[in-house]
Amino acid sequence: MKKQVLALVMAAVMAGSLTACGSSAADTTTAAQAATTAQAEEKKEETETETEAAGDEDGVLVMATNAEFPPYEYHDGGEIVGIDVEIAEAIAEKLGKTLEVEDIAFDSIIPEIQSGKADFGAAGMTVDEDRLKNVDFSDPYTTASQVIIVKEDSDIAGPDDLSGKYIGVQLGTTGDIYATDYEEEGSTIERYNKGFEAVQAMLQGKIDAVVIDIEPAKVFVSQNEGIKILDEALTVEEYAIAVKKGNTELLEQINGALAELKDSGELQAIIDKYISAE
């Protein structure tokens, strides 16, 4: 849409300069006016796009996520798939809207919701007190925990052994928050943009442990030799969908849809599709 308007401006300007060549000043004015009108239209268009992004007008719901978090959201071929994507698809369908998935850095998701560029965030996002100051959360749709991944021959056997070690986390996650407490105990926290980058750094011997959510941990461990998950879970967390603070209308719609998906068994079916029961 925007491109079309831009093309229009160009056409107007070009037509203007052609006629303006060796002709009266009046022609130039007309061309300039045409350009101004086109610009005004473009502006209007931009405002409309913003309203659209807020999901009010054209039936599009924009979901912000960070697709580096299997099995909740990850890239598969050219597509972004996973539990959160399917839950969001199901919610959008119930609300009669089309889902648009936006893949951004994890720590940009909340700002993106606050600015209204995204309608909601679904990213294996843990309900957390600090986050509640900036966004509202839906009812939780699943529980999770932080775990420690180490090399199979590591001397780290539990959380107490993290003292003084190099710990890798995904920037801005609850794993980051948890690990940061160990700074007081002489540990160094390495913050990566993607959880898997932390795992890679550990495989290369750059860090001693990774603190991350249990399900992605299982995926990363299953895909790489020589690493394991320690038994002791570090936290108990709930994942929920984040919306702009005060957007009770959307929040209620999401909660209504989630309740239906829970009752019908669809939610569990989506989870079971990606996570096999032990």
Where do contacts with ligand ARG occur on this chain (CB under 6 A)? 65-66, 68-69, 73, 106, 123-126, 170, 173-174, 213
| Residue 194 one-letter amino acid | K
The residue among 53 and 127 lying less far from ligand ARG, judged by its C-beta, is 127
The CB-of-62 to ligand ARG minimum distance in angstroms stands at 16
> Does residue 140 have a cis peptide bond before it, meaning omega lies within 30 degrees of 0?
no
Least distance between ligand ARG and beta carbon 82 (Å): 9
d(CA 211, CA 159): 10
- If the CB atoms of residues 106 and 182 are measured against ligand ARG, the closer one turns out to be 106
In the complex, least distance from residue 148 CB atom to ligand ARG, rounded to whole angstroms: 15
Beta carbon nearer to ligand ARG, 55 or 82:
82
Cα 261 to Cα 122: distance, rounded to the nearest angstrom: 16
* In the complex, least distance from residue 32 CB atom to ligand ARG, rounded to whole angstroms: 49
Closer residue to ligand ARG, CB minimum distance, 16 or 121: 121
Which two tokens mark 220?
């990363």
For β-strands 120-121 and 166-170, DSSP reports them as unpaired
Q: How far apart are CA 107 and CA 183, in angstroms?
A: 21
Under 8 Å CB-to-CB from 213, ≥6 apart: which residues? 69, 124, 144, 145, 146, 147, 173, 174, 175, 195, 237
Query: Closer CB to ligand ARG, residue 109 or residue 156?
Result: 109
Angle, helix 195-203 to helix 214-223, in steps of 10 degrees: 40
Give the nearer residue to ligand ARG in terms of CB position, either 28 or 180: 180
Q: How far is the CB of 99 from ligand ARG (least distance, A)?
A: 16
Q: CB-wise, 20 or 242, nearer to ligand ARG?
A: 242
Q: What is the closest distance, in whole angstroms, from the C-beta atom of residue 214 to ligand ARG in the complex?
A: 10
Edge-to-edge strand ranges of the sheet holding 209-213: 188-192, 166-170, 209-213, 146-151, 227-229
Min dist. Cβ of residue 276 to ligand ARG (A): 21
Q: How far is CA 75 from the centre of its chain?
A: 13
Cβ-proximal residues to 60 (8 Å cutoff; 6+ apart), any chain? 52, 53, 97, 98, 99, 100
